[in-house]
Amino acid sequence: MQSSRLRRLDWLFDHEPIYFLTACTAERRCILASEEIHKAFLSFAINGDERGAFVGRYVIMPDHIHLFVAFQPEKMTLSTWMKSLKNQISRALRNSGEPSPHWQRGFFDHALRSGESYEEKWQYVIQNPVRARLVNKPEEWPYQGEINALEYRRS
């Protein structure tokens, strides 16, 4: 017998939600904010539709990455996709001579519940480089952008 809480999930979340994801480097090493890593990320994310994954907005910080992604669940799982992303970036890090390990185990994920929460989360995330005193204005940070325009839809 399922609890009523589990049955409520269909009501709370869209069948294909937008996820807010964060992955941190091992020991919070500052190894991600470079043009080479940004290119590796973009190469992976732009071809995401082949894997059933659509990356929206993202910010690559020196020691972590924030991004929004939506999936076609029949093609890809969140864990499998994140493992592939970390592997792609690790390959670029190894090619640049950066020793392993590159990533903390696991990652943070949160399924967004509305278009408003996507925008609210983005407004917080895009300010990360400013709060870290890396730039004066968010648009000055070179390792951020949007690959696909994601939109929350309630079915």
Residue from 145, 133, 151 nearest 66 by CA: 145
Percent composition of the chain: helix, strand, coil (DSSP 3-state, to 5): 40, 20, 40
Q: How far apart are CA 111 and CA 79, in angstroms?
A: 14
When pLDDT is cut at 50, 70 and 90, the band that residue 153 belongs to is low
Burial class (CB in 10 A: 0-12, 13-18, 19+), 148: middle
List pLDDT tens digits, range 72-113. Answer: 877 788 899 999 999 999 999 999 999 999 999 999 999 887
| 13, pLDDT greater than 80 | no
Q: How far apart are CA 37 and CA 31, in angstroms?
A: 9
Residues 6+ apart with CB under 8 A from 75: 51, 52, 53
Is the bond into 142 cis (omega within 30 degrees of 0)?
no
Q: How far apart are CA 145 and CA 42, in angstroms?
A: 10
> Which domains are assigned to the chain?
16-146 (3.30.70.1290)
Could you tell me which residue, 26 or 49, shows the higher pLDDT? 26
Identify the pLDDT of residue 76. Answer: 80
Identify the pLDDT of residue 141. Answer: 98
Please give the mean pLDDT across all residues of the chain. 87
60: left (phi over 0), alpha (psi -120 to 50) or beta: beta
